[in-house]
Amino acid sequence: MASFRFQLLQLLVVLSQGWANNSGLNVQNNYRNMMIRLATNKAALAGIQVLREGRVEVSFDFGASWGTICSTSWSMREANVVCRQLGLGYASKASQGTEHGDSRKYPWGMVGTLCRGTERRLADCIRESHYPNLCNARNHNVSIVACVSHSADLEIGLVDIERTARLEAVPMSRLTCAMEEHCVSADAYEIRRTNPHAARILLRFSVKASNVGTADVSPYANYKDWVWHQCHRHYHSMNVFATFDVYDLNYRKVAQGHKASFCLMDTECRPGVRQKYTCGNTTQGISVGCADTYTDVLDCQWVDVTRVPINRRYILRVALNPEYKLGEISFENNGAECLLDYTGVQQTTRIFNCRRKPLWFKI
């Protein structure tokens, strides 16, 4: 059975590649004369002079013909470039679907687009190294964006990470809620079966997320879709708001953690800016000019370093909005990389030399 499945998978790949070759699409097409536009088949949007949402179309023959886009990853990065090139501001939505038409009626004209998000034009973006398996005859989705004039922009704080870093040994009997959110290493769940009071070594630190943009940060999901977490007695407005990863000096990951944004709120604001958002069931967000600080005492505000070898230097990488669920002006200020000297002892373990870094993107 396993052999049959493998052979079937190979056949599907070959068929997809054959379909791609027959369609004339590849990731090395000539993009020098690329033009882009937004289009839609929604009757409600017909007649709008400046369309701000729709399927993305490209032309390589000065507008004589147009085609849509298919990519393995179509994110806010690519959408930001589209909105910038069209002079429409910033992306508030990036998706692949059929709500503005499908690839049967509007065939793909380009595949494999991959942007950092800082490019001026879509033609400046790179391409996936191989033809995307997702872009086959069974997939009818096209790339979609929505643009807005103003957008939020998260900026990570650096001093807070260094100043608050500390180690703490916590028995798993006190980590029930955190373990429900998978905030400890996988081996902890095996150990708990036979030794439920065994301790985990947690590297705790605070993370400050400031909104330096021109619009408020708002959770991407409608509040009616937020998930109630019974153990913590609060709503999760996002599955992952931040990630914390520890790497060796060759960028091999040795530990990781995450922090669900259970309570986006204005914890501090610039002088003259009034706090607006609180930890409510419908009132979560970060105002322009305000910041939300997740302090080191909160659940999951850590990396589980129990199995990380001691007396070595590592790289701690922290990222805000790592899944690009929130539209932002830029993703260049969402990350931080710090050096971590981990000795296994509170007095000598330290985080230092934090530097602001962009979010990573796949090449």
Task: Of 70-79, 131-140, 174-183, 232-241, give the lowest mean pLDDT range.
Answer: 232-241
Domains contained in the chain, number: 2
CA dihedral 325, 355, 330, 224 (to 10 degrees): 20
What is the predicted pLDDT for the residue at 22?
47
- Give the end of a domain, one of 102, 127, 148: 148
Domain that holds residue 123: 30-41+50-148
**208 in the same domain as 180:** yes
How many angstroms separate the CA atoms of 247 and 51, rounded? 44
Residue 315: predicted pLDDT: 98
**Helix (H), strand (E) at residue 6:** helix 2-23
Strand partners, 207: 294
**Whole-angstrom Cα distance, residue 292 to residue 155?**
11
Residue 258: what pLDDT?
Answer: 77
pLDDT tens digits, one per residue of 280-318: 767 789 999 999 999 999 888 999 999 999 999 999 999
Of the residues 117, 148, 179, the one at which a domain ends: 148
10 conformational bin, left if phi > 0, alpha if psi -120 to 50, beta if neither: alpha
**273 and 208, same structural domain?**
yes
First-to-last C-alpha distance (Å) of the chain: 34
Lookup: tokens for 71:
């990519």
Residues 193 and 77 in one domain: no
16 found inside a domain = no
The per-residue pLDDT of the chain, averaged, comes to 87
d(CA 289, CA 286): 8
CATH number at residue 118: 3.10.250.10
- pLDDT score, position 194: 86
pLDDT higher than threshold 70 for residue 25: no
Q: Annotate 232-270 with DSSP letters as a single string.
A: TTEEES-S-SEEEEEE-TT--EEEEEEE--S----SEE-
178 and 144 belong to one structural domain: no
User: 259 with 244: CB under 8 angstroms?
Assistant: yes
- For residues 177 and 324, membership in a common domain is answered with yes
Tokens of 40: 């839609």
pLDDT tens digits, residue range 146-179? 999 999 999 999 999 999 999 999 999 898 888 8
* 132 and 160 co-located in one domain: no
Region of 310 on the Ramachandran plot (φ > 0 left; ψ -120 to 50 alpha; else beta): beta
Residues 174, 70 within the same domain = no
Q: Based on the domain organization, do 247 and 328 belong to the same domain? A: yes
Identify the sign of the CA torsion 214, 220, 222, 224.
negative
Q: Is residue 22 part of a domain?
A: no
> Which candidate, 103, 107, 127, places its Cα nearest to that of 115?
127
Task: Find out whether 337 and 355 touch, Cβ atoms under 8 Å.
Answer: yes
Place of tokens 């393995």: 72
Q: What is the gyration radius of the CA atoms in the chain, in angstroms?
A: 23
Does residue 338 contact residue 355 with C-beta atoms inside 8 Å?
yes
